[in-house]
Amino acid sequence: MRRRIVAGNWKMNGSKDLVKQLVGAVCEQSGNVGKDVEVVIIPPAIYLGQVAEQGGGRITTGAQNVSQWQSGAYTGEISAEMARDMGCGYVLVGHSERRQLFGETDSVAAAKVEQVLLSGLVAVLCVGETLAEREAGQAEAVVAEQVRSGLSVVADDQWSRVVVAYEPVWAIGTGKTATADDAQAMHSEIRKVLDGMNAPANEISVLYGGSVKADNAAALFAEPDIDGGLIGGASLKAEEFISICRSFPAGV
């Protein structure tokens, strides 16, 4: 069975008080989440240690970004090894905000995936098309190229530490969400691309992200190729986030 994952990306939000309150509330409710659902919190790097300590093993910690370099004179960067040292299990790579605001390319994403995998962590490659690309009928081609390029460095024995997160750029933070059918269609296409790369496509978790909330999570997670969510704003509200974590269909 593929891993079912709900990961909360806090982006550049948070405080010591929020970590204490929100992580504490999630941990208290962790017993009400399916045993096969992995709950991941991905805070700003400065709070990674506090989240890991507060989580006490009941949640997994993830980093929002790492460097494409292993170590050295790169002021302001953090390495994948540092993320592992702070207790991380996951690292986001290629989020659309990194691509759009910081100019990260597919080749940079691939270099970061390589570092994450070398460190023994799970790489979560984020892919997704803009509204203009979707309206031009290019969505599948754009996403396929991001998957192929970003995961081109993965060795045969590393696929178990790869997750793909499909986040249509036009749905991130906009309140717009792809319909469950649209999201499922793209997730199915992603699996075809992975299969074409000789990856174990049916064993790799593919998450959906883009304005996921408690009131639409269940419909999304019920689709056969959607294995969970990468949650943005809703992950900053304990009750909402916990509700999303509990949205998987029973017995799946």
Instruction: Report the percent of the chain where pLDDT is more than 90.
Output: 87
Residues acting as catalytic residues: 95, 167
Q: Cα(112)–Cα(84) distance, rounded to whole angstroms?
A: 14
Least confident of 107-116, 160-169, 176-185: 176-185
Q: pLDDT-based confidence at 194, cuts 50/70/90?
A: very high
Least confident of 169-173, 229-233, 244-248: 169-173
Average pLDDT value for residue range 188-198: 98
- Looking at residue 31, its pLDDT comes to 77
Looking at domain 4-245, its CATH architecture is Alpha-Beta Barrel (3.20)
What is residue 41's three-state secondary structure? strand
Q: pLDDT-based confidence at 56, cuts 50/70/90?
A: confident
Flag whether pLDDT at 147 surpasses 80.
Answer: yes
pLDDT averaged over the chain? 94
What pairs with residue 42 in β-bridges?
Answer: 9
Average pLDDT value for residue range 144-159: 98
- Looking at residue 171, its pLDDT comes to 82
Flag whether pLDDT at 252 surpasses 70.
Answer: no
Domain ranges of the chain: 4-245
Q: Cα(180)–Cα(48) distance, rounded to whole angstroms?
A: 32
Q: Cα(125)–Cα(237) distance, rounded to whole angstroms?
A: 24
Flag whether pLDDT at 251 surpasses 60.
Answer: no
Least confident of 59-63, 108-112, 160-164, 246-250: 246-250
Neighbours of 114 (CB within 10 A): 20
Higher pLDDT, 35 or 161: 161
Average pLDDT value for residue range 118-139: 95
* CB-based contact 42:6 (threshold 8 Å): no
Neighbours of 102 (CB within 10 A): 10
